[in-house]
A and B are shown apart, each in its own frame.
Chain A
């Protein structure tokens, strides 16, 4: 766990250089964002009907799979970039592609719809807990695998 913590701290350091935003940073984030958002749009459009929303507003929509997969991927790649020093590639992949692929607002809107459509509060709480807990489990598992890979490379 100590080494995991070190990796996260390194990532934090690189995440926030606290410098002025450069045009190059904006460009790679924009390019990555276009790819990530485009991929999400493509996935939501092309999933078979059975995997789309099940009738009434529910949590088992393409968004759940997308957000869980994106959280896993981000957890996986953050340790891989922690020592690489590839600032722009890291920004493009993490902030751009993966950040654009997942959507927090859409999940909030899904829950809002459940509430205004008078879905039972127990069901709303269950659905949002599933979505959030799957997300935190996915990012934790991804981070565990990524950090383990880096440790193996180092030893």
Chain B
């Protein structure tokens, strides 16, 4: 019972903060709501018995990726001008198409969920289990992801290098 209450609380926070993240004109405020939403999702992961996924959500998404987002916003230093531009983007008519698409998806989701039986939760999933699965059946996906990251790293290095050769920075 307590778990159910906690789940719905976390789910409500996640939904509300995601909606607020979408509708804020100030980029910093939007990011704070997005971080809050990620933390709420982490709580949900923990409640359904996946503590490892929950902590990874906090460490990687909330703790690293979002920090880089804030970093970029700091570099851009949008201020009032950014707010005004953002307000133009958030006009009502802009919302029509995404809302229709989202509604179709919602109907589909409700249909799927009402037909199939709820997925069995297998109790607590330990970090060991996650590791065994990741480097057992899914090892190919891990390798492909690592190659993709490597390509990104080389690309970033190349871009930085050209900047240095042109004599910018030291």
Whether chains A and B associate is: no
Residues of A within 8 A of B (CB): none
Residues of B within 8 A of A (CB): none
